[in-house]
Amino acid sequence: MSFSRRAVLLAPLVTAACAKSVVMDVSSEGMDLKQLDREVGAAAKRAAPGVLGVAITDLGNADVWLHNGDRPFPLDGAAALLIAAAFLDEAAAGRAHMDEMITVRDVDLSPPPSAVSANWPRRDRYAARTLLPMALDGDRTACDLLMKRIGGPGVVTAWIQQKRLKDIRVDRYFRELEVERVGLPSFRADWRTEQAFSNAVGKLSQRRRNAAAEAYLRDPRDTATPRAAMDFLVALHNAELISRTATDQLLDLMRRNGHGANLLRAGLRRDADLAHVSGIGRRDLGRTAAVNDIGLYRQAGGPGLAVAVFLSGSPEPEEAQAALIADVGRAALASRG
């Protein structure tokens, strides 16, 4: 059973690990919290046996609404947002450069989706500024190349800790994560196309693939709670993570991001736009390990919303999962009238 409670509390001070829905009201204006209870609650029932996690905050008055807000979910491709922010911070410090050329070797390739991998070795050099939008658009190799350039997952983790962000983690390269979650050994360059990778996965037993998927869903690595993803978005919006110039650059890339267009972006109204990054996991044996979308809605005449939506372990068709996340976005926007 989910429940709601209202209290004059700041989000970081509330512990709700066992609660499925928690509402914190800082002012009498802003989001219609009861409406969110109804509409997102209905979406959570539709998601079963998959698990839905949602965190929404009003950027104007700090109202917060949570459903499974303190439960870890796989970040999947949404990790690209943290990697991009960390890279931009390194560039601002002069330790990386947007126009520098990054060479792609066979050991740098990651599983699909990745245009960088698919085009290798015909093309093996990219400017960092070219890789950034590709990473945000879901290119696994682009993510790994940017992360490697600034020192790897350990450096991204240190950056997260330096920014005092909690309950959000980047622990592995995608070339490690993607093979582990389907039960394959180390990634091979000749698996770089969708067909080749699917063929390699198909040769594994269903038992091994199921066991790998279950282990992935239990793994604390490369995860975030919806609350933590929401807090990251708020800090990004406030330019507390990287410079205002770099923040505006990143938000512009997020607004032009076409990946996951049928998720939160599908819930847009004419009076709003969205800066977002999504993670769409591989579907295997009739189940999708992770689908998520995190972003900042900007509304005409209002300060906007930070919204993080995570869905894990769903057997529903991909179209139904996308529609569910889009409905959460519609509910978030409608909650403000």
Note if the pTM is more than 0.85.
yes
Q: Where are the alpha helices (DSSP H) in 203-266?
A: 206-218, 226-237, 244-255
pLDDT tens digits, residue range 235-271?
A: 999 999 999 999 999 999 999 999 999 999 999 988 8
| Contact of 185 with 212, CB cutoff 8 Å | no
List the structure tokens of 331.
């509910």
The alpha carbon of 197 is separated from its chain's Cα centroid by a whole number of angstroms, namely: 23
pLDDT confidence of residue 288: 95
Question: What whole-number distance in Å separates Cα of residue 105 and Cα of residue 3?
Answer: 51
Tell me the C-alpha to C-alpha distance, in Å, between residue 203 and each of 113, 197, 289: 20, 10, 19
Which of these, 284, 282, 113, lies nearest to 204 by C-alpha position?
Answer: 284
For the segment 272-284, the average pLDDT, to the nearest whole number, is 95
Residue 305: other Cβ atoms inside 10 A = 28
For the segment 194-222, the average pLDDT, to the nearest whole number, is 96
Q: What is the DSSP string of 113-160?
A: S-HHHHHTTT--EEEHHHHHHHHHTT-HHHHHHHHHHTT-HHHHHHHH
For the segment 322-329, the average pLDDT, to the nearest whole number, is 97
List the structure tokens of 314.
């769903």
The alpha carbon of 69 is separated from its chain's Cα centroid by a whole number of angstroms, namely: 14
